[in-house]
Homo-oligomer: A and B are copies of this chain.
Amino acid sequence: MTSTSASAPKPFDVVGIGNAIVDVLVQAEESFLDDHGLSKGTMALVDESQAELLYASVGPGLETSGGSAANTLAGIAQLGGRAAFIGRVRDDQLGAIFTHDIRSVGARFETTAATTGPSTARCLILVTPDAQRTMCTYLGASVGLDPADLDLDLVRQSQMLYLEGYLWDSEEAKRAFIAAAEAARESGGQVALSLSDAFCVDRHRDSFLELVDGHVDVLFANEMEITALYKADSFEAAADRVRGRCRVAALTRSEQGSVLLAGDETIAIAPFRLGDLVDTTGAGDLYAAGFLHGYTRGESLERCGRLGSLCAGQVVTQLGPRPQASLPELVRQHLG
> Taking beta carbons and an 8 Å cutoff, which residues of A are in contact with B?
24, 27, 55-56, 58-65, 74, 92-94, 97, 100-102, 104-105, 119, 319-320, 322, 324
**Least CB separation from A61: chain B residue:** B101
A74-B93 contact, Cβ under 8 Å, with A27-B324, A324-B319: no
The answer to whether B97 touches A61 (Cβ under 8 A) is yes
The answer to whether B58 touches A320 (Cβ under 8 A) is no
How many copies of this chain?
Answer: 2
The answer to whether A59 touches B105 (Cβ under 8 A) is yes
A24 to B24, CA, bound (A): 14
**Least CB separation from A95: chain B residue:** B93
Q: Collect the chain B residues with CB atoms within 8 Å of residue A64's CB.
A: 60-63
**Least CB separation from A74: chain B residue:** B60
- Nearest CB in chain B: distance from A180 CB, A: 26
**Least CB separation from A96: chain B residue:** B55
Q: Collect the chain B residues with CB atoms within 8 Å of residue A58's CB.
A: 104
Residue of B55, B56, B94, B104 near A60 (CB, 8 A) is B104
The answer to whether B60 touches A322 (Cβ under 8 A) is yes
The answer to whether B27 touches A100 (Cβ under 8 A) is no
The answer to whether A61 touches B100 (Cβ under 8 A) is yes
**Least CB separation from A127: chain B residue:** B324
Q: Collect the chain B residues with CB atoms within 8 Å of residue A119's CB.
A: 93
- Nearest CB in chain B: distance from A208 CB, A: 31
Q: Collect the chain B residues with CB atoms within 8 Å of residue A324's CB.
A: 27, 62, 319
A323 to B93, CA, bound (A): 24
Q: Collect the chain B residues with CB atoms within 8 Å of residue A92's CB.
A: 92-93
**Least CB separation from A22: chain B residue:** B63
A13 to B320, CA, bound (A): 34
A24 to B97, CA, bound (A): 10
- Nearest CB in chain B: distance from A115 CB, A: 16
Lowest 8 A-B CB distances belong to which pairs?
A63-B63, A60-B101, A93-B93, A59-B104, A60-B104, A62-B64, A93-B94, A60-B322
Q: With A62-B63, A63-B64, A92-B93 given, can you name 4 additional A-B contacts, CB distance below 8 Å?
A: A56-B100, A60-B105, A93-B119, A319-B324
Q: Collect the chain B residues with CB atoms within 8 Å of residue A59's CB.
A: 104-105
